[in-house]
Amino acid sequence: MFDKRMTVDDIVDQLSDGMTIGIGGWATRRKPMALIRAIARSNLKDLTVMAGYGGMDIGLLAATGKIRKLVFAFASLDHFPLEPHFRNARQAGAFEVLELDEGMYHWGLRAGAMKLPFLPTRVGIGTDIINQSGFDFKFVTSPYADGEELVAMPALVPDVALIHAHRSDEKGNLLTLSKDALFDELLVRAAKKSFATVEKIVPTAELDMKANSRYNLVERAMIDGVAEAMLGAHPSSADPDYQLDLKHIKTYVESAASPEAWAEYKAKFIDVSEADYQAAVGGAEAVTALPVPIY
């Protein structure tokens, strides 16, 4: 039988030192946090992390020393605007960065998804984004009458994309039920391999694709493996299944205050099994009862 089911640890076993890993979601929304926690616990090192729209994913991987290079446009916890572990690591010069505009990141993924070497854009012109020492941005001149000079945004091609969705069947037919699909589809299309965690794996019939087809993220042919991970986005949201956990995010923010505070957080929430993690954050009942945030 055709079956792509794996465990979270099986997915992490597919990763290796030095890889370029693209992470989906947005700041505090649908981050594949069960996978991020598993990477944080692993022996993996020297990763290039592509997280254009970063949050705790960047912070946790920075705090656990996994990042050699970060490709990003921002790192924020939204209601807590500054990501404290990202800040600490960045201010210590812990990793190399390539900082992009959000739209450039989107454009780089689109080029990757289209198997093009680059896409032209005006974005970046006039800014320090195109003057970074770590990357030599090139320009292209429009071959048409306008002759405009544009930035050639290179394709972003992660070795692996990691995303979190709501439902899947065993074949990797995904549903992302939230109001905003974000750019997870492009990330998957750009990456050489893609793995998804989902809240629940169900029989194909239960996906009710006829009603839900507009939430079908991408062709299953693009998905190499799918793992069931209930609360796998926590403490970010997987709306409508559950909302972000502001109280936990506050605890996480406070863990950046000192090495002792971080050691305590890590022992309680990272260096434990996912079952213990879920229990430590109050279990499914508490998480699904979290209030809808106000933006």
Partner 1 sequence: MTDISYSLAELVIAACAEVWRDDGEVMATGIGPLPRIGAGLAKLSFAPAIQTTDGECFYTSEPVGPGKRAAEPEFEGIANYDRVFSALWSGRRHALVGPVQFDRYGQANISVIGDHQKPKAAMLGARGFPGNSISHPNSFFFPSHNKRAFVEGEVDFVCMAGYNPARYRNGKPPVGLDLRRIITNLCVMDFGGPDHQVRVISLHPGVTFEEVQDNTGFPLARIADDIPTTPAPTAEQLSIIAQIDPNNVRATVFKDNPAGDRRAA
Please report, as ranges, the residues that interact with partner 1 according to CB under 8 A: 26, 53-54, 72-76, 81-82, 86-87, 90-93, 96-97, 99-104, 106, 122-129, 132-134, 139, 149, 179-183, 294-295
Residue with tokens 């989902």: 198
Handedness of CA 189, 154, 78, 94 (dihedral sign): positive
Residue with tokens 């597919």: 14
Distance CA 19, CA 172 (A): 23
How many whole angstroms separate alpha carbon 1 and alpha carbon 136? 48
Nearer to partner 1, 86 or 118 (CB): 86
Q: Least distance to partner 1 from the beta carbon of 249, Å?
A: 16
Q: How far apart are CA 69 and CA 158, in angstroms?
A: 13
Least distance CB 170 / partner 1 (angstroms): 29
Q: Please give the structure tokens belonging to residue 178.
A: 């939230």
Q: Which is nearer to partner 1, 11 or 50 (CB)?
A: 50
Taking the least distance from each CB to partner 1, the nearer of 44 and 186 is: 186
Beta carbons of 214 and 208 less than 8 angstroms apart: no
128 burial (CB, 10 Å; 0-12 / 13-18 / 19+) is exposed
- In the block, which residue shows the tokens 């290039």? 48
Beta carbon nearer to partner 1, 174 or 182: 182
Q: Least Å distance between CB 259 and partner 1?
A: 18
Nearer residue to partner 1 within complex by CB, 81 or 259: 81
Instruction: For the CB of residue 252, give the shortest distance to partner 1 in the complex, in Å.
Output: 17
Output the six-digit token pair for 39: 């990477």
Minimum gap (Å) between residue 241 Cβ and partner 1: 17
Report CA 168 to chain centroid distance, whole Å. Answer: 18
Quick one: 97 or 284, whose CB is closer to partner 1?
97
> Least separation, in Å, of the C-beta of 245 and partner 1?
17
By beta-carbon proximity to partner 1, the closer residue of 42 and 132 is: 132
Q: How far is the CB of 121 from partner 1 (least distance, A)?
A: 8
Amino acid, res. 83 = E
Which among 187, 283, 194, 200 has a CA at the least distance from the CA of 238?
200
